[in-house]
Amino acid sequence: MAPIPSAQKTSREDLAYRLESLPSCHMDSIPCSEDKPQPQLIKKSKQDYPKEAAERTSKHIDQTEDEKKLWSTGCGAAMATTFLYIYGNILVMDQMPVDKRVESWIFVASPTPIFVASLAYITAVTWIGPRLMRDRQPFISLKPIMILYNAFQVVFSAWVFHEAGMGGWFGSYNLLCQPCDFSDSPQAIRMVHAAFWYNISKFIDFIDTMFFILNKKYDHISLLHVCHHALMPLGVWYGMRHEPGGQTTFFGFLNCFVHVVMYSYYLLAAMGPRVRPYLWWKKYLTTLQMVQFIMMFVHAALTLATGCPVGHPLMRVILALAFIFLILFLDFYIKAYRHKVQGSMTCIPKLSSVYEKKNTQFHNQMMNSVGNSKTTDFNYSFSYQKSVAESDDQHVNKSLHID
């Protein structure tokens, strides 16, 4: 019988060869691809599903309510713009002659392009823009552009204010009754040019609302904001075409000064949180805007009452615009700065009632989706949403303002 061979001992050379033949991942204590742990699925509890559904429902309801408000705002602004267009064509263009000095200028032949531009603006900011931004996040890289834009508005408004002042309002004009100078004198021509560039500035102001759309700050796009931006280009156009001087230019001269202050505030606010503590005078900026429209209203009313020989149809337009803007600004002022503690009289609806209405909608929609078998799970989600709403209510009551 053949002897059984004895076990051979492993030499150092054999051991080194075997170690070199191993994969490098084992040598470095790194698991190989076949040894990598497989990702584990995170199981969601039953309570997570109602929470996610409620959050989606909340977001959808908020977007729907914002779009409805914007649509209502757009309809109101479009009706006001259409009324001004009809009034201007019938009572201004038919009763007042065209200033021969501007008859051949661009956009002077007809108000229809101005009217179409205003309606296009209303449509863009109250319907097209919000729908394009519906599933998009707010743009966060607009800060440098906003700083440049506001700086430009400050310089441009200051220049138009200076030109209108040198054209007459710095001394040679009579505040109570100043007929338009239709001559070709240097001062009269300077006022005509100031009126033209002031009209152009009203189209540049459209960019304000575009920033609100891109930042999804739909609460800033109020009826006051849209009406002001849509009516001004058309109203200023009638004055620039028929009487670019005298009494009808006072409101533009005053408005340019207010814009210098207003866009200076926007410029500082866009620079970030470090500057905002020094913007305590924002409340007085709104007061300045209201004083502006009071002065415009009184000035136009006195002009009509004293029978000053100027374009009365234009002064009626200024009177009506000043009254409308004053009422809207007054409403904004009351809502923004006269809000008191709960239980007192206020013009702002209680936020708790708003949240209560929203949470009732959450409850009704979620009950239809999760069924009666998951009522307990949904009640947990509903109580969670209610606690979040109460927390938001307290936060908003502390920092209610509109930038």
Q: Using one digit for the tens of pLDDT, what is the confidence trace for 218-257?
A: 988 999 999 999 999 999 999 999 999 999 999 999 999 9
Confidence label for 13 from pLDDT (cuts 50, 70 and 90): low
The domain in which residue 254 lies consists of: 60-337
pLDDT of 394 strictly over 50: no
pLDDT of 212 strictly over 90: yes
pLDDT number for residue 8: 47
Give the count of domains, the chain: 1
pTM of the model: 0.71
DSSP-derived secondary structure letter, 347: S
Q: Report which residue type is found at 92.
A: V
Q: Using one digit for the tens of pLDDT, what is the confidence trace for 253-275?
A: 999 999 999 999 999 998 888 88
Q: Using one digit for the tens of pLDDT, what is the confidence trace for 338-348?
A: 654 333 333 32
In a domain, 196, yes or no: yes
The span from the CA of 311 to the CA of 5, in Å, is 127
Q: Average pLDDT, stretch 180-188? A: 96
- Considering only residues 235 and 401, tell me which one the structure prediction assigns the higher pLDDT: 235
The span from the CA of 126 to the CA of 225, in Å, is 11
In a domain, 387, yes or no: no
Q: Using one digit for the tens of pLDDT, what is the confidence trace for 43-54?
A: 555 555 565 555
Q: Based on DSSP, count helices (H) and strands (E) in the chain, helices before strands.
A: 14, 0
Alpha carbon 137 to its chain centroid, in Å, reads 15
377 neighbors 47 (Cβ within 8 angstroms): yes
Residues above pLDDT 90, as percent of the chain: 55
Closest CA to 227 of 142, 149, 326, 131: 326
pLDDT number for residue 388: 43
3-state secondary structure of 134: coil
Closest CA to 172 of 157, 191, 192: 191
pLDDT number for residue 329: 83
In a domain, 374, yes or no: no
Residue 391 vs residues 336, 377, 395: alpha-carbon distances, Å: 20, 22, 6
Confidence label for 328 from pLDDT (cuts 50, 70 and 90): confident
Q: Average pLDDT, stretch 191-202? A: 97
pLDDT number for residue 55: 58
In a domain, 16, yes or no: no
DSSP-derived secondary structure letter, 89: I
Closest CA to 329 of 276, 283, 268, 260: 283
In a domain, 17, yes or no: no
The span from the CA of 288 to the CA of 292, in Å, is 6
The span from the CA of 361 to the CA of 54, in Å, is 10
Closest CA to 68 of 221, 211, 237, 231: 221
In a domain, 31, yes or no: no
The span from the CA of 47 to the CA of 44, in Å, is 8
pLDDT number for residue 333: 73
Tokens at 147, concatenated: 């700083």
Tell me the average pLDDT of the chain. Answer: 78
Q: Report which residue type is found at 214.
A: L
In the residue annotation, 228 being an active-site residue is answered as yes
228 neighbors 118 (Cβ within 8 angstroms): no
pLDDT number for residue 34: 45
- Considering only residues 314 and 364, tell me which one the structure prediction assigns the higher pLDDT: 314
Of the CA atoms within 13 Å of residue 165, those in its CB half-sphere come to 11
pLDDT number for residue 249: 97
Residue 182 vs residues 266, 314, 316: alpha-carbon distances, Å: 37, 16, 21
The span from the CA of 321 to the CA of 254, in Å, is 14
Q: Average pLDDT, stretch 59-82? A: 86
Alpha carbon 160 to its chain centroid, in Å, reads 25
177 neighbors 304 (Cβ within 8 angstroms): no
160 neighbors 197 (Cβ within 8 angstroms): yes
Confidence label for 278 from pLDDT (cuts 50, 70 and 90): confident
pLDDT number for residue 324: 92
pLDDT number for residue 18: 53
Return the number of other C-beta atoms located less than 10 Å from residue 251's C-beta.
27
Confidence label for 210 from pLDDT (cuts 50, 70 and 90): very high
In a domain, 115, yes or no: yes
In a domain, 21, yes or no: no
What stretches of 75-155 adopt beta strand conformation (E)?
Answer: none
The span from the CA of 398 to the CA of 403, in Å, is 15
Among 228, 242, 259, 363, the one annotated catalytic: 228
Q: Using one digit for the tens of pLDDT, what is the confidence trace for 77-94?
A: 999 999 999 999 999 999
Burial status of residue 121 (CB atoms within 10 A of its CB: 0-12, 13-18, 19 or more): buried
